Structure 1
Amino acid sequence: MNIQNKATIKMKFIQILKVTFLLLLVALVSCNSIKEEQQEPREVSRKGKEYFVQDSILISTRDGAKISAIIVRSKAEKEPQPAILFHTIYTRKDDINRAYEAADKGYVGVVSYTRGKNLSPNKITPYVHEGNDVYDVIDWITEQEWSNDEVGMYGGSYVGFVQWASMKEKVHPALKTIVPSVAAAPGIAEPMENGVYFNFHYPWWHYVTNNKTLDTVSYYNGKRWNDLYFDWYKKGVAYKNLDSLDGTPNPEFNQKLEHPTFDAYWKKMTLFKQDFSKINIPILSTTGYYDGGQFGTMHYLKSHYQYNTNAEHYLLIGPYSHFGAQELPEKNILGYTIDPIAQINIKNLIFDWFDYIFKNAKKPVLLKNKINYQVMGANTWKHVSSLDKITTDTLKVYLSKQRSGVAFKSTYNTGNMGVNEHFSLSNISNETSYIEQEIDFSDRSQFSWNLSGDRNIISETLTVGQGFSFVTEPFDEDLELSGSVSGVLNVSINKKDFDFNVLLYEQTANGSFFSLTLPFTTRASMSKDIENRNLLTPNKKTSIPIHNFRMTSKKIKKGSRIVVLLNGIKHPFSQLNYGTGKDVSEESINDAEEPLKIKWYTDSYIHFPVNM
């Protein structure tokens, strides 16, 4: 074969390769352009109305996972509509009712689930993938013939978190509003607050990951969990060994313990700082004074305001619990009957908000300004343009080692150095005097708990634990306490770290107590910086800021006083910080050594936000 023939054959071979490559490329593009086959809509008659229902949809994500979804449309609607999306990890049989409800209100109802839940074949992985997955669900919605390319989202707790997470990288062009209620904020508000892990998060991982729906059998087995916490407390084993005591591995919980600061692990799944600057859609957040999720809700709200000065973000807050602030508040919460004016239907208000956004309806009447809060005991709502406009004055008081002369009924006759009499809150600062508290972590006897607070909002007694209560003088006239308490606690300890609570009460003229909000909890070493742990120097005075106390609002009656309760933490319901400076989850009773000694200095001060 001559050289010319060889060259001709080589040229033809190259041409064949080119043609083959082009054909393969066309085939790949064609395959990608073919929409996935989906369940055909079926017609359903329900309560005299006709719907198109798809309850077995699987939506592909960018990384190939499958998201299970339910779609409900009104048969009467002929034009493309906005979609209302509820994306949840809590798989329940009646979830389709949410989609029907949205359809009844003139929207396409969409319920989708965390990957791995319901019909999704993937591994159940809470939190981690929600940002991208929800974004991809929104993207899929816009590709449907029934979509007008507008989407709104709502829901509470974990369902509130996923709304924020969907905007981590960017806001989908079709996402026009979100309504996150009592929103979870991983790494910030759960499974810890200010660095302190709470035990009630432990069974949650079994609840949502043990099966495709919810493991209600294990989750509602209160005896199992209480026995576990008491066993852990009594034996003094390391916190990271909870699942060894339980006998069932809990890898997701343990993984979270490996990230005690707000590090890259948490930042990857939730918004932080500059992430909020790009969020320009209108938002309505709802929460309550007695909602654990207020911690996360206020983090999102304050961050949004801080990093986007033009944020159109509304807040609705009242005397509501975690569940009440999502849809329908309880009329009586923990023994307190809320004011008639606070007895609103939050679910209806949410859909009124959607009508305002999508249908040019009027804004809900209750949302007269950005911040809308109910004043307990006054039967009124107030409305201001920003958080710093809530109050007009601040009452500054200092801790004092002087007794107040005000006796009270103690639940267990503990605390205040064995005398059921408050210490004073004074207008005088003294930087050298202090009250000393001692906590022996090696003592696990039956009554060794150091627990403050009460299960009811209204109580005839005060549970002080081994801590101290401080009280103001009685007020000469009614005043309104509204906003978040702040201040600085100056302390010294004989170890490198400790955890503590601050609780807030109204003590009425007849001696009963009204809990004004949930306890403030913090780890001293993380009180200034959740991204880095800064250990204390033993026996050196240091300042601990109080800066993210939960908001409240109440009319404080003439003759009442405000009570502040301080207490170091030692009980079976949260981590025990032994103060060695090691990872708290690795500490055990072997690290207890000498008792913790806390000196609460009397130049510590509290700011009460008030309207006189």
Structure 2
Amino acid sequence: MKKNLVKLGVAALCLVMGLETFAQQKLTLSDNSNYIINDSVMIKTKYGITLSAVVVRKKGMPQKLPAALFYFIYSNTNRSLMEAKYAADHGYVGIVADARGKRLSPDAPGPYEHETKDVNAVIDWIIEQSWSDGRVGMYGGSYSGFAQWAAAKYLHPALKTIVPYVAAIPGLGLPMENNVFLTANYQWAFYITNNKYTDDAINNDNARWRNMRFNWWKSGAAYNKIDSIDGTPNPWLQKWLSHPDYDAYWQSMVPYGSDFKQINIPVLSITGYYDDGQVSALEYLREHYKYNPSAEHYLIIGPYDHFGSQIGGVAKLRSYEVDSIALINTRETTFEWFDYIFKGGKKPGLLKDRINFEVMGANNWKHAPSLAKMEDYRIRFYLDSTANGTMLSEQKPATEVFMNQQVDLADRIKFYNDYYPDPIIKKEIERSNGLFFITKPFDKAVSVSGALEGQLKAIINKKDMDIGLVLYEVTPSGEYFQLSYYLGRASYAYDMSRRSLLKPGKLETIPFYRSRVFSKQLQKGSRLLLVLNIDKNPFAQINYGTGKDVSKETIKDAGVPLKIKWSTQSFIELGFSVDVKDLF
């Protein structure tokens, strides 16, 4: 289990580090004689700060063109030139703008906090230029995806479309997920604020960060002391830790609530089943449709990780041989979309409905009007306890029974919640802790798609707990194919902006839905396995259940072990291609 969780500490950094150079492998520098290039543009805003940008135009093009804007924090002039030239080659003015404090900007960096103003200031500048036709489209992944949604919070009339890949939501997908702070986010603040570009040396010091995590874990110190254990103050982390709720601080950075109602431009979102930040990308989509049901918002999702989503996938992903039909070209799709919006071209052929998803194992794309309708049937499985063991039962138990779990939160030997999908296909899984619920074998091949969602019912002896769920397909040959996982804090289950502590000794209901969406064709004879556990390992805060700020709790707050009575009235819901009567 330690081996898999160490992979979490490395692989999850892909999300927070934003090392998107990989996503640029297919971009090449072209002959400069074909372009008009300005790589040192300075954009002075009306409110006193200055941003830098690269602007590239293709010679021989019409005098006025729409602009393709890529806004990012990982400043690299060569990369900016490649990105802008790619846009220019496709009939746009290519613009790559650096975030505040990066590259040539004389100001201090401020990750997340200023994009709602700064991106729109760049758009203001663009439409004042002689080569602008007054229209702007934005695209890009991770932080660049976040920046597009930040700009849309106060939608500029010149911004006509956005194409966010694996878009982050500060405070939801990172540096915490469902209100649980992750240690994998730790070094990102140094990486992007230590200098005007990126501090690759500090980012690549894997031994330092691994030692920091394990030293903190062993010490039992409060999470907000982790930078003391590292030996270097981390003021950005401390600032973020002071906002454990998804409060006004986080809400100010991206559209929130009714803000989505005003976002009436076409949107194309792209993410992957194994994208660490998928919960953020899909939160934008869900909220957009919630507040603006008629929004023209499309989703492409398939068997991609954080980087793979930005290029269109790789043939082999963490031991899984990806279906050939799943491999697309994200950049080509982006500029086909731009041509559709700006030039009256055809909509990308893959977009046959709002939700466009590849069914792993079927080598087939499917299309649906919403995430909830990715399959025709919604089937509920109860976490049942029978004489034959714990089962995922399609029948509601006639009598409520409670299943016991005990976790010593002061223990530093066992790790709990081995949830990270690397590799995706495992020969065996950790079984020394947690509860395991399995279905009967399926009588036929069947596809299952959508989010892992449902509700848990439990009685605990403390005021809070951090919950982990992992869903697998157990194949007839006995392999474990990981489909989805969920990580979240029980006290925020109803409202991520307001903590509501559990009452010890009382039966509590804990709904969940911000898990990883997936789609997979299950083999005949396969079964579904759900692992239910408490999150306790070196890769996230440890919630000791006192009700105090979790970042300030220490091992001294552990007290008696956490005792949980899980009710058999707990359930999960999944989308299937056939009705329940045809499954078994």
TM-score by length of 2: 0.92
Matched, 1:591 2:557: yes
1:434 is matched with which residue? 402
Q: Is the 8 A contact 2:391 2:439 kept in 1?
A: no
Provide the C-alpha distance between the structure 1 equivalents of 2:546 and 2:399, rounded to a whole number of angstroms.
Answer: 27
Provide the C-alpha distance between the structure 1 equivalents of 2:281 and 2:416, rounded to a whole number of angstroms.
Answer: 29
1:610 is matched with which residue? 576
For residues 555-578 of structure 1, the C-alpha deviation after alignment (integer angstroms, 9 at most, x for no partner) is: 111100001110101100001000
2:167 is matched with which residue? 183
Matched, 1:86 2:66: no
Matched, 1:315 2:281: no
**TM-superposed deviation, 1:468:** 1.2
1:502 is matched with which residue? 469
Provide the C-alpha distance between the structure 1 equivalents of 2:467 and 2:65, rounded to a whole number of angstroms.
Answer: 51
For residues 380-425 of structure 1, the C-alpha deviation after alignment (integer angstroms, 9 at most, x for no partner) is: 10112222322211221211222647xxxxxxxxxxxxxxxx6554
**Aligned counterparts, 1:113-512, within 5 A:** 113-169=98-154, 171-402=155-386, 404=388, 423-425=391-393, 427-429=395-397, 432-444=400-412, 447-453=413-419, 454-512=421-479
Provide the C-alpha distance between the structure 2 equivalents of 1:577 and 1:343, rounded to a whole number of angstroms.
Answer: 40
Q: Is the 8 A contact 2:381 2:392 kept in 1?
A: no
1:553 is matched with which residue? 519
Find the partner of 1:575 among 531, 538, 541.
541
Provide the C-alpha distance between the structure 1 equivalents of 2:432 and 2:207, rounded to a whole number of angstroms.
Answer: 24
Q: Is the 8 A contact 2:358 2:365 kept in 1?
A: yes
Q: Which structure is richer in relative contact order (CA contacts within 8 A, separation 6 or more)? A: 2
Letter in structure 1 aligned against 2:536? K
Pair 1:119–1:595, CA change in 2 (3 A) = same
Q: Is the 8 A contact 2:379 2:394 kept in 1?
A: no
For residues 148-198 of structure 1, the C-alpha deviation after alignment (integer angstroms, 9 at most, x for no partner) is: 1111000111110000101212x1111110000110011222111111111
Letter in structure 2 aligned against 1:378? A
Which 10-residue stretch deviates more, 98-107 or 55-64? 55-64
Provide the C-alpha distance between the structure 2 equivalents of 1:432 and 1:211, rounded to a whole number of angstroms.
Answer: 58
Pair 1:298–1:566, CA change in 2 (3 A) = same
For residues 193-238 of structure 1, the C-alpha deviation after alignment (integer angstroms, 9 at most, x for no partner) is: 1111111111111110111100111111111111000000000000
Provide the C-alpha distance between the structure 2 equivalents of 1:287 and 1:404, rounded to a whole number of angstroms.
Answer: 40
User: What's the C-alpha RMSD, in Å, of the aligned pairs?
Assistant: 1.4
2:14 is matched with which residue? none
**TM-superposed deviation, 1:246:** 0.7
Q: Is the 8 A contact 1:69 1:110 kept in 2?
A: yes
For residues 506-559 of structure 1, the C-alpha deviation after alignment (integer angstroms, 9 at most, x for no partner) is: 001111110013x20010000111111000001111000022222110111110
Provide the C-alpha distance between the structure 1 equivalents of 2:509 and 2:446, rounded to a whole number of angstroms.
Answer: 30
Provide the C-alpha distance between the structure 2 equivalents of 1:50 and 1:380, rounded to a whole number of angstroms.
Answer: 41
Unaligned runs of at least 5 residues, structure 2: 1-28, 579-584
TM-score by length of 1: 0.88
Larger C-alpha radius of gyration, 1 or 2? 1
Provide the C-alpha distance between the structure 2 equivalents of 1:339 and 1:148, rounded to a whole number of angstroms.
Answer: 41
Pair 1:89–1:48, CA change in 2 (3 A) = closer
Q: Is the 8 A contact 1:464 1:565 kept in 2?
A: no
Provide the C-alpha distance between the structure 1 equivalents of 2:401 and 2:126, rounded to a whole number of angstroms.
Answer: 64
Letter in structure 1 aligned against 2:470? L
Q: Percent identity, aligned pairs only?
A: 47
**TM-superposed deviation, 1:50:** 1.5
**Aligned counterparts, 1:13-24, within 5 A:** none
1:562 is matched with which residue? 528
**TM-superposed deviation, 1:465:** 4.9
Provide the C-alpha distance between the structure 2 equivalents of 1:267 and 1:596, rounded to a whole number of angstroms.
Answer: 33
Provide the C-alpha distance between the structure 2 equivalents of 1:91 and 1:607, rounded to a whole number of angstroms.
Answer: 43
Give secondary structure in 2 for the equivalent of 1:474. coil
Letter in structure 2 aligned against 1:51? Y
Matched, 1:525 2:491: yes
Provide the C-alpha distance between the structure 1 equivalents of 2:75 and 2:266, rounded to a whole number of angstroms.
Answer: 28
Matched, 1:515 2:500: no
Q: Is the 8 A contact 2:70 2:95 kept in 1?
A: yes
Q: Is the 8 A contact 1:486 1:607 kept in 2?
A: yes
Provide the C-alpha distance between the structure 1 equivalents of 2:500 and 2:399, rounded to a whole number of angstroms.
Answer: 23
